[in-house]
Amino acid sequence: MKVTIFNGSPRGRKSNSHLIVEPLLEGAREAGAETEEVFLVEKDIEHCRGCFACWGKTPGICAIKDDMAGLLDLLLESDYAGMAAPVYGMYMPGLLKNFYDRFLPLATPYIYRNDDGSFYHEGRVKRFPRQFFIFNSGFPGKHNFDLLRAYVEMVKRGGPDRVVLEIYRNCGEALGVPDEGPPPEVLQKIAGFKDALRQAGRETVTTGQVCRETVDQLHVELMSDEEYMAGANKHWDRVIAESE
């Protein structure tokens, strides 16, 4: 079984997204899966040109010759494919959006209607990996992921089993080790969050789903909104003072 996660943070290997992906894949490996994390920022991925050559002139094949064809092969040979990224402007960073735009060769041009009145293009490939969505925000609170949740709901319309796990981790900047060092009770909660990630990875590989209890542990509050704001604002006071 192959589990691949595409990390769409511009920070790549130094990202908070990576701090979330690492334990998840560790759990998947413990359960016997082959795993890979792909850092999109290290790849050559041009913007989609909107030429539709992949629908007309060369069906299924993009006109742009960069790393994308290889990445789509990797996606399609995976049993589970995850996308991990920070919230940017209440949505996903351009790096991940750009990657998604380049999925166009995987769809056919014809338009169909869903029962709920929305529309879709049928996939060109018969087997698509089941998916993870892993997002982290720099804000505390509950509303950072509203647009991303809407995006994931759209993916789920493709079939009830399409999405195996969704992680919406607020207070993302607490995951790294800020210079001030978070208080011990927060460190303990972060350790619990990472244990839950390992558990989610194991459950995915062994049962094909992640149980409610694990999902709840993944969304446990790391600290109060006020504590997070105070820590973050203090951090920026210091960074700005040091640069003066």
Binding site for ligand FMN (CB under 6 A): 9, 11, 15-17, 86-90, 136-139, 144, 172-173
| Minimum CB–partner distance for residue 240 and ligand FMN (Å) | 16
43: number of Cβ within 10 Å: 15
Residue 236's contacts (CB-CB under 8 Å, 6 or more residues apart) are none
Tell me which residue has its CB nearest to ligand FMN. 138
From residue 153, alpha-carbon distances to 150, 166, 244 in Å are 5, 11, 46
| C-beta of 9 vs 35, nearer to ligand FMN | 9
| C-beta of 17 vs 202, nearer to ligand FMN | 17
| Minimum CB–partner distance for residue 104 and ligand FMN (Å) | 25
| Minimum CB–partner distance for residue 241 and ligand FMN (Å) | 20
| C-beta of 51 vs 90, nearer to ligand FMN | 90
| C-beta of 161 vs 237, nearer to ligand FMN | 237
| Minimum CB–partner distance for residue 9 and ligand FMN (Å) | 3
Dihedral over alpha carbons 97, 214, 16, 80 (to 10 degrees): -40
The residue type of 80 is Y
Residue (of 39, 30, 143, 23) closest to 83 by Cα position: 39
| Minimum CB–partner distance for residue 141 and ligand FMN (Å) | 8
d(CA 134, CA 35): 16
Dihedral over alpha carbons 72, 169, 12, 129 (to 10 degrees): -10
| C-beta of 17 vs 131, nearer to ligand FMN | 17
